[in-house]
Structures are given as structure tokens and as C-alpha cells.
A and B are shown apart, each in its own frame.
Chain A
Amino acid sequence: MSMAGRLQLYDGVREEDSGEIFGGSNDDSLCRFERLFAEFFSEICAFNCVLHYPPMLSDGQDVDLYRLFLVVRGKGGYDAVCKGKLWDSVGEESGMGVSVGSSVELVYSRYLSALDSWMKKVAESKVSPEFGVVDDRDKFGRRLMELQAEVEGLLSGCADERVVLVGEDVEGGLDEDDHNLDGRELSGANGVKSNGDEGGEHRQCDDSEMPDNDMDEAVLGNSDKGNDLMGGEEGFDGGKMPEEQAVDISDGANKSGTGVVSGGKQCDDSDDKGLVLDASGGNSDDDSSGHKRKREGSVWDSSSDDCDSPSRKRMRESAMDMLSWITGVAKDPGDPEVGSIPEKSKWKSYSSQEVWKQVLLFREATFYRRGSEASNEQRNWQNQKMHPCLYEEQVGTNYNLRDRLKCDKKLLFGKSASLRSSSDSSLATENRTPGSHTEGQSELRDSPDANSGLDKCATVRIPLGTNHQAEIPEWTGVTSESDSKWLGTRIWPQETVNTRLIERDPIGKGRQGSCGCPEEGSVECVRFHISEKRAKVKLELGNAFYDWDFDRVGEEVRLMWTKEEEKKFEDVVRSNPPSLEKYYWDYIFRAFPDKSRAELVSYYFNVFMLQRRGYQNRHTPDDIDSDDNDDEAGPLRNVFGPQIQNSGHEMQSSRGSILLTPKKTRKKGK
């Protein structure tokens, strides 16, 4: 959807919003809010930050963004709340408990204030002062930096401060036991192995670009029990807005859970989602696009989640469900209770209430971010037995796990630039400059393909549905009857072959070099040889000659025309050059009412064009217009019959034309 469209959407909602503040919220407006929020982030500030969903406080509590948003607005907006140091009470009023002020503030500034200020801008541009609830968020960026510094301070200070922490490293620090426990439980292997290699590897990458890079260091820090935390944090500030995470649901589980799922899915898709994974750490374009997708995925996740279950508690529960589901799968992949996953094409239609879908969404959300950690997961997967349903539900598809994993491995470790570019959404537009963040941004901004995280689409999608696909019967192993009645009519070789006449020359003989005519290459010479050949062919082919209309081929066709008719034909063509709006065919049809169109066309190709070509061959060999005067540029017109003006252009725009191919660049001019 275009920006303009989005703006309109917002306009509509703004009104609703202002109503809501007074009228209170209902589920519908909540949904709307969430959707807008999701879209806002996926398009407006896609490049700006990478947020995690659902937003949570450090203690794992979910944050109801909508409520928070309303509460803050009720208190006069962000600035007012800051000034009045009202964040604690905001936290309480939003139902997040006491003394969570700083966490709440951070969540708000991360998730909502951008939206806030953006809406404000919209409001201003539209001169609608009634929407003044949104307070001035000019200082948003600066404020964010401040907050960050604050968080860093807190980080080095105490680990169990109730703040929303930046980066999962801290999360790891807080919940380290859980983390590792979950990790082991789920993947049966230690989640943090050989981070050193990884970090080293990734440090080679451009520092300014992507959070992934930083993430890596963060992971390093994590394994080092937080020693490196500060270093990691500083890395964040270098580039753009730091990668941040409101508290993740049980980080370790999440990590290996997604790993597990992607292990299966990646291969069975082998789509670019899978491929992007290995792109992390290199080229900033890939990374940022990866992030964009991830963020989209997560955004959608949260929005749909929230729509379905507005209550925070519910959400938390579903997260727990998901976790236990993954655990269940890990423990016993064959357990029928685990259920099955439908085909990917149907994923979208499932609500995110489905456990597996949540897993997928989580995987989606963490997939790209964790690209750098992937080798961890990789090691974990290798000892895994996966429930087949994680690959695909198709009956009878016993996918070989080993090879899938091998394939994964390749994806993960084959950090070739080529693969990376191929994995990018726009394969055809490679050659982007790596390392430039701004370019990545514009790139993202320019490609607002409104994909959900589960589904990426090409520029033009293959349409699906009963109106598009052929109906293919199941293969039964028994050959069904193919109609043997209609096999064509044999024309050659003929039933009764006059062997006496069969040509004895070797088959596939070419033209003879010299013919012995008095004037080789003269008009007469060419004409003689053509008719000689013709006579031979006629003799040989017998009836087939007429079957193939060979009697109406070449300049023979003119025998059926009178001199006057030929003259008339030429005159009509000459007096109506194709550059004119009226094309000569219209006149030709009118001029020869007693000749069928097929006859006229036949004459055109067999006599008229051939003669002209013959003339060109002799007189203007450098300027042979092999393709008659149709080459003239200009819109294709429907020549036969009355004109249809209005239908053509609409179609052009909607379906594209094979003729609208952009002019190709040639090395040399023609």
C-alpha cells in the first residue's frame, strides 16, 4: 500500500481514536490500533529500529501497548508524563504493577512514541487541531539516546533492576538459568558453544550497519557471563538505533525453538527466508532487509495475537503453551498429540492461536536476528530428531533429515556473497552496494511489499486458485486411456509411395555452390532454380504438395491474381503508409470485397513481401527490412474489424503487455 493510502487509513482511524479516548476502548478499536501499529512499523519506520514482539517488561510481563498508549495520552502525552515523573503511575494504570516506571517509559518510547510523533505530524499537516492529544515528540530521538545511556548505566549497575533491557544478552544475564535450562531441554545441546569463533567472524563486518553484528558481540558477552556487556552495548550506538528487545519470552527456548523449527522448515521451503539466514553478518542490505522482514513478522505476530487475545495474561499463557509444545516435540517427535502443521500456503489463514503458528511466528521474528548465532543452533539441530510435521504434512513424504540438515548447514555456513544476493528478495537487482546503511533504508522504503512475515512475494505473483491451476488426476499407476482416435492424419510418407520418384540425393543437401546458369544470381537464375526445385518437390510430394498448400506458396500465388488486382494492391499499400493513423489493411479489405482475407494475407506474404524483399536484397542490401513495415513503432492496432478503443488500455495496465518490453540496450546501434 502506498504512503498516500496509508495516510488515508490513518485519517480514518484518527477520528476513531479521538473518539476512543473518551468513549473507552473496545476490542474492535484495539484490533484496529494493533493493525495500524503493525503497519506503521512495517512501513514508516521500518528501517529505524528492530523491535520485538510482543513487548514485555524485563520480568516477562506483557505490555498492552494500546492501553499504555491511551493512558499516556490521558495524562497529557509523553512529555507531560516525563516531566511529572508519572511513569510509575502509568505503569500501574496500565496494569503492569508497581514501580515499573522506567521499563514502561522505555517500552513507550521504543514502541509508541514514534507512532505518536508521526501521528502528530499527520495531524499537523492536515490542520486538524482537535487531535492535539498527541504530544510533541520532536525530541524522541534524543530522548531515546538518553534512555539508552540510562539503560547502559543500569546494566553495569545491577542485573535485576526492573528495566526493559536492551539486547538479549542482558536478558540472558537475568534469566540465565532459565535460558540454559530451556536451551538444553529443547535442543539437547548446549546453546552457547564457540561463540568466540562467531564473534570473530562477524566482527569483520561493517560495524556501522547492523544490529546483528552487535547481537553477536552480545552473545559473546552472554557466554562470558556478562563481562562484555558494556562493549556490546557501545557497539549498539555506533550505527543506528540499537537493536533492542523488550523482554523475550524465555529466551533460550525461543532461540532453540526457532532453530528447531527453522531447521525443518528452511529446507522444506528453501525459500529466501531460509536463505537470508546465512546472509547475516555480511552485507548490510541483506541484513536490513532481513530485519525488515523479521520485524514485519513480529509485528504481525503481535497484532494478530493481540487481536485474538487482548488480555496480557492470555498472551503469556499462549507463550507458555507454545513453549511446552516445542518441548513436547523435542522430547517425542512422534507424539501424535503434537499435531500437524498444514501446508505453508494455508498458514496465513490460521489464527495465531495455533501453537505451531506461534512457533513459526517466533521463529520468523528471531530468524534473521539470530543469523549470527545460527551456528549454535546448527550444532543443536544436528542431533535432533524432528517431528515430520515440522517439515510438511504431505502424506508419504518421508523427507530425509540428514540431507535436510546438510542443506541447512550449507545455508548457514556457506556465507558466499552469491548465495546471499540470491537470497535477497530482489534477486534480479543485485549489485547493491554493501555496507551503506542509508541505501539499505531507502531500499526498504522503496519496497513496501506488504508481506506478512510468513509470505514473501515476487513482483508478480503466480495467481492461485481453481481459476488458474489445471485439474490433475491422481496418478493411479494404471495408464488411463489416451484417445487413440485422434492422432493426426498422416500426410507423409504417403500410403502409396511412388518409389520411382523418390529423390536419390542425400538427405539434407544444401544449396549447390554453382549452378552453371549464364548469369549466376540474376533474377532469372534465381527464378529458374526456385521453380526447378518446386517442380521437383511437387513431383515428390504428390498429394502432400496440395495438402500443405504448396500450390499457394511463394510467388506462385500471383498466378491467381490478375495484373490489375496486383496493381491495385500495391497502390492501396503505397497510398496508406503505416505511419498514418489509418492502416492500409482496412482499405485493402474494402478494395477487394470478393477476395477472402486469407487470400489477401497469403498474397501479402507470398508475393508482395517476397517481391519487396527481393528488391531490397538487390538494391538496398544494407537496409533489409525483413519484417515488413510492421516494424514501425506505434501502438498495436486491431486491424481486422471495428476498432475497440476502450478495452485495450485498461488491460494494458492491469495485465501487462508482451509488447511493452522495455527497449533493450545494444552495444552498437543497428
Chain B
Amino acid sequence: MRSKDRIAYFYDGDVGSVYFGAKHPMKPHRLCMTHHLVLSYDLHKKMEIYRPHKAYPVELAQFHSADYVEFLHRITPDTQHLFLNELTKYNLGEDCPVFDNLFEFCQIYAGGTIDAARRLNNQLCDIAINWAGGLHHAKKCEASGFCYINDLVLGILELLKYHARVLYIDIDVHHGDGVEEAFYFTDRVMTVSFHKYGDLFFPGTGDAKEIGEREGKFYAINVPLKDGIDDLSFTRLFKTIISKVVETYQPGAIVLQCGADSLAGDRLGCFNLSIDGHSECVSFVKRFNLPLLVTGGGGYTKENVARCWTVETGVLLDTELPNEIPENDYIKYFAPEFSLKIPNGQIENLNSKSYLSTIKMQVLENLRCIQHAPSVQMQEVPPDFYIPDFDEDEQNPDERIDQHTQDKHIQRDDEYYEADNDNDQMDVS
């Protein structure tokens, strides 16, 4: 069966040979492995694959400061000792080393996300995938947490040219601080991040109390979690919050950062998600039938990253993948089982039921504050899924979830969780 969605997938083989340095956990080679796995499952036959253009410095400067972009452009491993002050200023060094072809690498992954956004804007596709993107820590004037250029912000800025409101969802184990920070003052972008918080876990931001400021107040949502969260609690929380967010915020497009370091067994992560749990979130977001930009992100156990993003590519293509990994050049990396399953997590789940319901309540409480405060633009611009001629082409109207059904669905979910939550409160008080 051919997917009803048109999927654009961005890949440039050049990222595979980028090397952050020995001992550096970020290995762009994982992108190469992912692409191979995707192809070995023949998923390319259901989508269009593009080589992204290399984003120009001026495009990167849409968000980043020109001097920072210029410096990234200029710096090389051989000249960096001449620029110690600048390295410090731009936070380059340990986490974010200067390596060969650094700028080209940035241009490729940022170009991918920007192209993806543009394709969505021009309605050339319904879903765009750029696994090389999703570097959510990068700041306007500095690098951070393996991220140099914040392709997500650039992509969202691009989407904002066509959409009044864009929703950003982040399921990386780390807080999506760069994106949140960039859009902290605006209500045109709502950022929702699910992440580990506490114990000085990087980057340290992402408390539930960070809700945005000025016009952006209540338009930043943080779901701080503790070690070892499992599939069931994560997906439940995710679905409850995201469905409420979409219902309330009515975004015109969604950007989903699928950092794979929230998987069990990640080198830097501390969650217990299986690939099924992780991809269930992707599947859930897909079901809103909104223009969707999917990016990668963290992920430091590279075979698992490749597995996860391959499965999620399949999810976006409505294709369930058999567990046995087909032969491919990298099959040895998937030993000993050569399967898509990853070992179960070994980290104790420190998220008590009551803790999770507390978080949920707080988030929903904050959401309620905008729910009944529709700003002018919300009324003026109907969201895309209300527009009747959306997807006028090949979409079968019967297959589309209309708002009414969706509401009913959401309602049901809510009731279920609400009741559940009541019990929690009983237990606690």
C-alpha cells in the first residue's frame, strides 16, 4: 500500500565521514548507518529522497548572529589556537570541538531542515524528514552540547512564513533549550520538551516553571522527568499533553525532534524507552495530519539510533518493519541479534505515578491559561486542519480524522487519565 502522505527525506552522504574527534560521543556516522538501514528495508521506494542544499551563511544568520556564523565559517582545527578568546566566547572546545569540515557539516544539516520546511511550505510534501538535523542546543551566539547551528530554529522560522503558529515537540533526553530560548518571547511558536531534569543533567534548564515570557508566556512547556522513565508512562504523558496542546494551540505545522538518546541504553541518556515507545510518539504526532517536520537529534549508541530512526521512518511511511534486519553493509553493527529490538533498559524508574501526575496537572493548568485566551490571530487564521481544501489531492476524506472525531478521542483520553489521576491524589493526600 502506498502511503497517502508524501514524504520528503533529506540525506547527504558527506555527513557520514564527519568526525567530532575520538572519544566524542557524537558520531555523525550514525546517519550513514541509519540511511543504510532505511534503504535496506526498501523504505526509499515509498518516499522522495533529496540532497539538501548547503545553507548559506546568510541563511544561518536568520537566527544566529552574523559574527558567530562568520567565525564558524572561518575556524579550522589548524587555526583554532589563534582564536582562543573567540573559542571561549562561542563555547567551542570540549563539547563542541572544531573539526574538519565543521562548517560544511553545519550547512548540510541546517540546509536539510530549511529545505524540509520549504518543501512543507510549498506543499510539496506532507512530512519531511531530516535525521541529520535536530541540533536543539545551539544558541544564537554560541555553540552548546554538540550543536553549532540550530537548524530547528531556522526551520521553524521558515515555517513561520506560512503558518501563524508552529508547534515544536522535543523528545530528546536533553532539554531543547536552544529552541525554547529562541522562541521564549513569542506565542507564534509553542515549544514542548520532554526531558530528564535534575541532578545537574545537561543543560540544566527545563524546569516546569519555565513557561515563556512576555507574549510567549505559557507558550513554552517543559515536562521534566527523572531517570528511567518507561514506555508506558512516557507515551501516556506524551499523548495526554500533546493532544491537549494541539487542541489548544491549533498549530499550522509541527516540528518534531526525535533525539534518540531517550532510548534505553544510550551512552548519555538515562531513560528506559524502547524503540516502540519512542516511535509511538512519532506515530501519535503524525496522526494529527498536520504538516510535519521530523528531525533527529541526540543519540549516542549509534546502532540504536539507526534502528530507532529507521523504525520511525517506517512509522511515518505507515510501514511496519520486520524485526530481522536485512543484509546491508553495516549489518555487523547490529549483532548479535541482527534485529530491531534493543535490550530493555536497566535504569530504575524514579518517576512515581504521583510525580508524573503532578507534572501533567501543572502543564495542563498552564495550558488552560491560554485555552480561554485566544489571541486575535487564533481566531483570524483557522488552523490548517480546518481548511477544507487541505490535501485536496489524493486524500480520501473518509480517512481523514475530522475535528469532531478527534475531539471525542481526546476527550476519552482525558477522562481516562483524569480518573486515573484521582486515584493518585487519593494515594498521596
Contacts and interface: CB of A to CB of B under 8 A. Distances in A.
A644 B184 CA distance: 34
A192 to B, nearest CB: 27
Contacts of A559: none
B50 interface: yes
A130 B88 CA distance: 47
Nearest to A663: B270
By CB atoms of chain A within 10 A, which of B115, B301, B354, B372 has the most? B372
Given A489-B50, A626-B301, A270 B365 contact: yes
Contact of A458 (B209, B376, B429): B209
29 contacts: A271-B211, A417-B429, A418-B357, A419-B361, A459-B207, A467-B65, A467-B140, A469-B184, A470-B183, A470-B186, A472-B157, A472-B183, A486-B114, A492-B44, A492-B47, A492-B48, A526-B331, A585-B22, A605-B27, A624-B336, A627-B267, A636-B94, A638-B77, A638-B97, A640-B19, A640-B100, A658-B137, A662-B200, A667-B347
A396 interface: yes
B226 interface: yes
Contacts of B330: 553-554, 610
B103 to A, nearest CB: 14
Contact of B42 (A415, A508, A553, A555): A508
B40 A533 contact: yes
Interface in B148-207: 153, 157-158, 160-162, 164, 174, 177, 180-186, 188-189, 197-205, 207
B326 A416 contact: no
A427 B98 contact: no
Given A472-B157, A475-B377, A511-B325, A460 B205 contact: yes
Contact of A508 (B213, B320, B362): B320
B425 A403 contact: no
B277 interface: no
Contact of A647 (B84, B300, B373): B84
A638 B144 CA distance: 15
B224 A428 contact: yes
A660 interface: yes
B78 A403 contact: no
A598 B215 contact: no
A532 B40 CA distance: 12
Interface of A: 267-272, 275, 343-345, 392, 394, 396-400, 402-404, 407, 410-411, 415-419, 421-423, 425, 427-430, 456, 458-464, 467-470, 472-473, 475, 477, 479-484, 486-493, 502-503, 505, 507-511, 513, 526, 529-530, 532-534, 537, 541, 544, 547-550, 552-556, 578, 583-585, 597-599, 601-602, 604-606, 610, 613-614, 616-617, 621, 624, 626-627, 630-632, 634-642, 644, 646-648, 650-652, 655-662, 664-668, 670
Contact of A416 (B22, B381, B429): B429
B366 to A, nearest CB: 5
Nearest to A621: B336
Given A417-B429, A468-B139, A549-B14, A632 B23 contact: yes
B183 A397 contact: no
Interface in B47-89: 47-53, 63, 65, 76-78, 80-81, 84, 87-88
A17 B403 CA distance: 70
Given A456-B209, A475-B164, A508 B369 contact: no
A490 B48 contact: yes
Contact of A489 (B18, B51, B146, B197): B51
B224 A503 contact: no
Nearest to A423: B362
B50 A272 contact: no
B141 interface: yes
Contacts of B101: 598
Interface residues of B, number: 163
A411 B112 CA distance: 45
A509 B359 contact: no
Given A626-B302, A640-B98, A482 B319 contact: no
Contact of A621 (B44, B50, B335): B335
B140 A549 contact: no
B275 interface: no
Interface string B98-114: 11110000000001101
A407 B328 CA distance: 56
B53 A486 contact: yes
Contacts of A487: 50, 115, 118-119, 122, 124
Nearest to A638: B97
B229 to A, nearest CB: 12
B42 A507 contact: yes
B327 interface: yes
Contacts of B373: 397-400
Contacts of B100: 597-598, 640
Interface stretch (B29-37, B242-250, B388-396, B404-412): B29-37
Contacts of B416: none
A613 B335 contact: yes
Given A530-B329, A553-B32, A660-B202, A422 B23 contact: no
A322 to B, nearest CB: 25
A269 B376 CA distance: 20
Given A268-B217, A468-B181, A601-B18, 15 more contacts: A400-B372, A411-B365, A421-B358, A470-B153, A479-B121, A479-B161, A491-B51, A502-B45, A509-B326, A544-B49, A553-B329, A605-B32, A651-B93, A655-B144, A659-B94
Contacts of B177: 462
A626 to B, nearest CB: 6
A396 B375 CA distance: 6
Given A270-B365, A490-B50, A481 B161 contact: yes
Smallest CB-CB A-B distances: 7 pairs: A554-B329, A510-B322, A641-B77, A488-B50, A549-B13, A460-B204, A428-B198
A666 B331 CA distance: 29
A488 B198 contact: no
A634 B325 CA distance: 34
Given A418-B357, A489-B50, A626-B302, A399 B372 contact: yes
Contacts of A544: 49
Contact of B361 (A402, A418, A464, A642): A418
Contacts of B233: none
B50 A491 contact: yes
Given A410-B365, A601-B19, A644-B84, A664 B204 contact: no
B16 A509 contact: no
A434 to B, nearest CB: 11
A630 B24 contact: yes
A610 B97 contact: no
Contact of A507 (B45, B215, B331): B45
Given A533-B326, A617-B336, A627-B267, A665 B348 contact: yes
B238 interface: no
Contacts of A397: 373, 375
Nearest to A670: B346
Contacts of B347: 664-667
Nearest to B359: A422
A482 B322 contact: no
A378 B97 CA distance: 56
A641 B198 CA distance: 35
A486 B161 contact: no
Contact of A658 (B115, B153, B202, B358): B202
Contacts of B358: 418-419, 421-422, 427, 430
B284 interface: no
A223 to B, nearest CB: 27
Nearest to B122: A484
Contact of A268 (B43, B200, B369): B369
Nearest to A549: B13
A654 B22 CA distance: 24
Interface in B296-331: 300-303, 314, 319-331
A486 B118 contact: yes
A631 B268 CA distance: 11
A411 B380 CA distance: 32
